[in-house]
Amino acid sequence: MNQVNLKFGNQFSGELVGKRGSIKVGEGEGGIAPYELLAGALGSCLYSTFLDIIKKMQLEFDGCVLDIEWEKREEVPTTCKLVAIKGEMSGVAEGKQERFKKAFKLATEYCSVYSTLSQVAEMKWELDFK
């Protein structure tokens, strides 16, 4: 079983501690809000899955930036209504863009966090190249 530990005082300001690191959580200085954590989980899971696929496809690139935006529902519980992911790839060889888009689409199908969020939210993505 996997585990993280959350340490809080009597305010919404604390620390999330995992096996390999920690981050500040909450309203305090430098704290990350819950939906920012969720978006980070989505982006990191999706990118890790994407890298596995890229490796199998023997494709090379220099880097990627993922921007994730979300809209929450008004009604309680205020789950995500819409999640939009925009990826920008750098260092992709000319003529290889469509293979990268195919790999990203496959990553959305295999990423467990993406799959979980897709149960409550409309998921959109796009991949651009610079």
How far apart CA 2 and CA 4 sit, in angstroms, is 7
Position 28 scores a pLDDT of 81
| Three-state secondary structure call for residue 18 | coil
Torsions phi, psi for 81 (to 5 deg): -100, -40
| 93 neighbors 129 (Cβ within 8 angstroms) | no
Position 108 scores a pLDDT of 98
Indicate the DSSP class of residue 61: -
| Three-state secondary structure call for residue 5 | strand
pTM of the predicted structure, to 2 decimals: 0.94
How far apart CA 88 and CA 71 sit, in angstroms, is 21
Those residues of the chain that have pLDDT short of 70 are none
Position 112 scores a pLDDT of 98
